[in-house]
């Protein structure tokens, strides 16, 4: 039997992308709250879906002759309140700067109206074969500017 399912999808609200995530038992620590490192995983998933929602296939970039992709080069996170089992989270992504080989993004994680965490991310577009930053392709820049 074949089942048709759809992956969770986010949505753009102007320039802000919002992605849903549920807190599962595996995400929590012995105290029943989300383990601090898992907020980074939620943020990574949202950034991946942000890129996908722009119509950019990351797998194509990784399989191209250039083998390029975005990598985190710096991160600052401020925890405001804990998430707990079964919470429905909303992770936002907002690109605040993009130039040359770098980009900066602001992310926030909410449960309802409550802000749980704020992240400031610095990204580099990197040639994996050359192991160094390269200019972000114009196609990506144009898609971001169209928001």
Strand-pairing partners, residue 93, are: 17, 107
Cα–Cα distance measured from residue 71 to residue 73, given in angstroms and rounded to the nearest whole number: 6
Write 106-114 long-range contacts (CB < 8 A, 24+): 107/43, 107/46, 107/47, 109/39, 109/42, 109/43, 109/83, 111/81, 111/83, 111/87, 112/88, 114/81
Whether 27 sits among the annotated catalytic residues: the reply is no
| CA nearest to 79, candidates 36, 136, 132 | 36
Residue 118, classed as helix, strand or coil, is strand
Catalytic residue (choose from 27, 29, 60, 66): 29
Q: CB–CB of 100/136 below 8 Å?
A: yes
Active site residues: 29
């Amino acid at each position: 039997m074949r089942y048709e399912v759809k992956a969770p999808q986010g949505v753009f609200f102007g320039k802000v992308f919002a992605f849903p995530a549920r807190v599962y038992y595996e995400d929590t620590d012995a105290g029943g709250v989300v383990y601090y490192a898992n907020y980074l995983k939620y943020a990574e998933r949202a950034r991946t879906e942000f890129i996908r929602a722009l119509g950019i296939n990351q797998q194509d970039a990784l399989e191209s002759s250039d083998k390029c992709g975005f990598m985190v080069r710096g991160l600052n996170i401020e925890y405001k309140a804990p998430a707990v089992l079964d919470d429905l989270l909303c992770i936002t992504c907002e690109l605040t700067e993009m130039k040359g080989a770098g980009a900066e993004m602001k992310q926030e994680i909410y449960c309802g109206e409550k802000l749980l965490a704020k992240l400031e991310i610095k990204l580099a577009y990197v040639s994996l074969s050359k192991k160094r930053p390269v200019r972000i392709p114009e196609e990506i820049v144009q898609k971001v500017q169209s928001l």
